A and B are shown apart, each in its own frame.
Chain A
Amino acid sequence: MRLHVVTGKGGTGKTTVAAALALALASDGRKVLLMEVEGRQGIAQLFDCPPLPYGERKVAVGPATGPLAGGDVYALAVDPEEAFLEYLAMFYNLRHAGTALNRLGVVDFVTTLAPGLRDVLLTGKAAEAVRRRKGRRHVYDAVVMDAPPTGRIGRFLNVAAEVSGLARVGPIRGHADTVQSVIRSPQTAVHFVTVLEEMPVQETLDGVAELRDDAHGGLQVGGIMINMMRTPMLSQAELTAARNGTLDTAELAMGLKAAGIEDSRSLARDLAADLAEHARAMELQRSERRRLAAAGQPRYNLPLIPDGMDLAGLYRLAEELREQRAA
């Protein structure tokens, strides 16, 4: 697998998981490019570095494994305007026209208005990075793309179809077809990040079905990364009791008292209510997991990092992904 496209509903930690996947892939001396396409500078935030320019920068070293040193993670924030000018320079030797084009609104038109062109430019940059070679070797062993959210992913990746509404023939259509062949190649997979809640799970299932649909013919769905998973604190029997409100609060209060806590009875009431909520959340988590299983894709479990995501947390998620053989 050389191109990993990572999507997910807003708020599920899509950028975090994309970064962790890039780290995991870079773990045995391999060189990985992590790219973002939405202009949010999320990668710079995660790796705690200044905003990324339109250029590939090394942001991290993958974890070392055994005798092998960790590989390098490079990052790129793709800017559609720069990508357009680069495209003109690369294919038409037209870079010098940039200023005039900008002044007359052409750059604005192509990068924000003309339907589909923006996406072709963004996915085109990923395809270029995947295919780029130095001598006979690929420059990057893998490219991880922090892609638009689930609701837009089908359209985003279906560039050829999107552009065909606009350009039935012509050079941009040719370019779109080339990009499409990279995205549809067996070396590309689309991963879905979700949390175990109703709406994100539903969007994941809808997204998987959409990509598998014939209209998107040949898009390969990869793994489902279940992010921010919480571990149950109670046994199954206790969870059931907590949910039904039949927990033994007297026992709970006795335990609290034994731990040296005063006012144990009123505290026991509050904690029992928290436990009941926890039990409901766990039950929901279980049923959402079952729904995800129906998608028939490999699933990877990533724990909730309760005190916030930082570099250490990122390496921890990368380790999880490696152990579960997502990378």
Chain B
Amino acid sequence: MSSGQPDTDFGQAEADGGVPAEADAGVPAEDRARPGKNRADQPAATRPNRYRWLDVDRLADDPRTRVIVCCGSGGVGKTTVAAAVGLRAAERGRHVVVLTVDPARRLAQSMGLTTLDNTPRPVQGADTTAGGSLHAMMLDMKRTFDEIVEAHSDPDRATQILANPFYQSLSSSFAGTQEYMAMEKLGQLRRAEEWDLIVVDTPPSRNALDFLDAPQRLGRFLDGRLIRILTGSAKVGGRAYLRVLNTGFSIITGVLTRVLGAQVLKDVQTFVTALDTMFGGFRERADSTYRLLQTPGTAFLVIAAPEPDALREASYFVERLSRDRMPLAGLIVNRVHRARAARMSAARSLAAAETLQNGNGEGGPPSGASAARYPLAEAALRLHAERMLLATRERRLAEHFVAAHPAVPVAEIPARPEDVHDLDGLREIGMSLADEDSPA
């Protein structure tokens, strides 16, 4: 099956895992991550105490891992992490496709993506000597939606739907459509069986939970009572049902006509009538994709920056994933600041800087002289103190997360002065993820 071809049959994906979703719910099984270590022997500012290290290599190397979903709030570097994980897995021998939704231009270029064309393209420059391969694609949500419509209606009806104004705004501007279509595309890629690992970057939503909810919300709406009411009595079914809905019907059409205007209602009604054959399908597709996410072959990586908002969002997300029995692999804290010489505390460093500033250093001018003799050392000590403060604050924030979710494995990626815009940069990120003691 070509990857561009939509398909309603989710049976394969479901059968593939073979294990009920409950089996891998919440935190991963013991063999997915190493047992925790007490890190008390580490310097104070390097990393949170007593957490389980998230071994991303082990996760991505495991042939049972078929889908990795990267999620988190906006601005934490989801797309970059997804690309880095995908590249590393490919260079370690897996056949990988990275599905991105809205990459920054230069990052997209680094993977050879120039257009939104819904087609996975081979990434030039990935090292394939280990026998793996890397493809990447950008989601075209309107086209994905159009393809579903075309696959499920005869050509005349498809043309009618595609030309409908309500369909056009639904398929191109409704925020939930992007989430729905990302999940739809994920389902298609999964069923295509052309890749053995799919890494997905979730859409830039209002909040990180949107992509779990939006597909079902859209499915519920397209398949729900409101739509049936709007399509008019002929489509509702039995007369008994009609009588129950009659009061609701008049209120609703009344309100919608007053709020939206009669023309909009008419567009919606035409759209829904034309879409009639696909009813049931939408909700079913959304539910199937949701179930696909629950299978053990899927692993969720929650990405956060070491900032209160991003980590709070990550906490919500972790709780939600475990409530919904989604297979959570762990948390990746991205852009962590670390001082190299963590053995010297901020307070000590600052005190030493002040000693130099006051000219009181050994061998310096007599006490009372104003000129600092070692401006370079003084600046270095102040910079170190600032970095230690930042590192301590970030570590404290990560510790809050770990205290609340002690079973969730954690990995860190150090902050870099520059953005990533080539494969080498992605490779470095992948390397630091794989190194338990980075950034030390």
Using CB atoms and an 8 Å cutoff, list the residues of chain A in contact with chain B. 9-12, 15, 38-40, 42, 45, 88, 92, 94, 97, 100-101, 103-106, 108-110, 112-116, 148-149, 151, 155, 162, 165-173, 197-200, 202, 233-234, 238, 247-248, 251-252, 254-261, 267-268, 270-275, 277-278, 280-281, 284, 306-309
Contacts and interface: CB of A to CB of B under 8 A. Distances in A.
B243 interface: no
Interface in B326-380: 339-341, 344, 352-353, 355-356, 361-364, 373-374, 376-380
Contacts of B247: 100
B62 to A, nearest CB: 31
Given A11-B76, A166-B264, 5 more contacts: A106-B255, A109-B221, A148-B206, A165-B168, A167-B264
Contacts of B174: 113-115
Contacts of B383: 233, 271, 274-275, 278
B156 interface: no
B176 interface: yes
Given A101-B252, A172-B260, A199-B104, A109 B226 contact: yes
Given A105-B226, A258-B373, A171 B259 contact: yes
Contacts of B204: 10, 149, 151
A125 B168 CA distance: 27
Contact of B355 (A110, A260, A268): A260
B384 interface: yes
B76 A274 contact: no
Contacts of B339: 274
B374 A100 contact: no
Contacts of A15: 309
Contact of A251 (B207, B226, B251, B376): B376
Contact of A45 (B206, B259, B308): B308
Interface string B397-440: 00000000000000000000111000000000000000000000
Interface residues of B, number: 78
Interface in B134-183: 165-166, 168-170, 173-174, 176
B36 interface: no
Interface of B: 73-76, 102, 104-106, 165-166, 168-170, 173-174, 176, 204, 206-207, 217-218, 220-221, 224-226, 229, 247-248, 251-252, 255-256, 258-264, 267, 305, 307-310, 312, 339-341, 344, 352-353, 355-356, 361-364, 373-374, 376-384, 386-387, 389-390, 393, 417-419
Given A11-B75, A38-B207, A233-B383, A254 B374 contact: yes
13 contacts: A10-B76, A88-B259, A101-B255, A170-B263, A199-B104, A202-B104, A252-B374, A256-B381, A259-B353, A259-B356, A259-B374, A270-B340, A284-B417
B169 A11 contact: no
Contacts of A173: 261
Contact of A259 (B305, B377, B387): B377
Given A104-B252, A198-B418, A258-B363, A271 B305 contact: no
B87 to A, nearest CB: 19
Contact of B258 (A171, A256, A273): A171
Nearest to A113: B221
Nearest to A231: B386
Most chain B CB within 10 A, of A92, A101, A113, A167, is at A113
A149 B170 contact: no
Contacts of A94: 255, 258
Contacts of A151: 102, 204
B169 A115 contact: yes
A148 B305 CA distance: 19
Contacts of B378: 255
Which are the 7 A-B pairs with shortest beta-carbon distances? A170-B261, A255-B377, A10-B75, A10-B74, A255-B374, A11-B75, A258-B361
Given A248-B376, A260-B352, A267-B341, A281 B251 contact: no
B176 A113 contact: yes
A88 B260 CA distance: 12
A273 B339 CA distance: 10
Given A148-B206, A151-B102, A167 B344 contact: no
Most chain B CB within 10 A, of A104, A252, A271, is at A271
A270 B341 contact: yes
A256 B395 CA distance: 27
Contact of A307 (B356, B389, B417): B389
Contact of B225 (A9, A105, A259): A105
B328 to A, nearest CB: 22
A110 B73 CA distance: 25
Contacts of B166: 166
A170 B262 contact: yes
A321 B209 CA distance: 34
A308 B389 CA distance: 10
Contact of B221 (A88, A105, A254): A105
Nearest to A170: B261
Contacts of A261: 344, 352
Nearest to A15: B309
Nearest to B247: A100
Contacts of B226: 104-106, 109
Contacts of A247: 376
Contacts of B340: 270-271, 273-274
A255 B261 contact: no
A10 B226 CA distance: 35
